[in-house]
Amino acid sequence: MAMHIHRIVRSCDGNKSQAARILQCDPKKVQKYLRIYEELLERKGDPFT
């Protein structure tokens, strides 16, 4: 889920509000899952590089 949200935010050029509208959720939820994704990156590395 966190990776999917990260992809949507990237497709919106980092605009979390726009991503939240696409995902039909609260922007706070987008921010929460981005934090989770960042924690995963610290452990495993960026899968997009």
Q: What is the CATH number of the domain that holds 22?
A: 1.10.10
Kindly state whether residue 49 falls inside one of the protein's structural domains. Answer: no
> How much is the pTM?
0.80
The number of domains in the chain is 1
pLDDT at 34 over 80: yes
What whole-number distance in Å separates Cα of residue 25 and Cα of residue 4?
A: 13
Residue 27 lies in domain: 2-44
Instruction: Find, among 18, 47, 12, the residue nearest to 38 by Cα.
Output: 47
Distance of alpha carbon 15 from alpha carbon 43, whole angstroms: 25
Q: Domain for residue 15, yes or no?
A: yes
Is 7 within a domain? Answer: yes
Residue 32 belongs to a domain? yes
Q: Stretch 9-28: mean pLDDT, rounded?
A: 97
Query: Residue 12 has what DSSP assignment?
Result: T
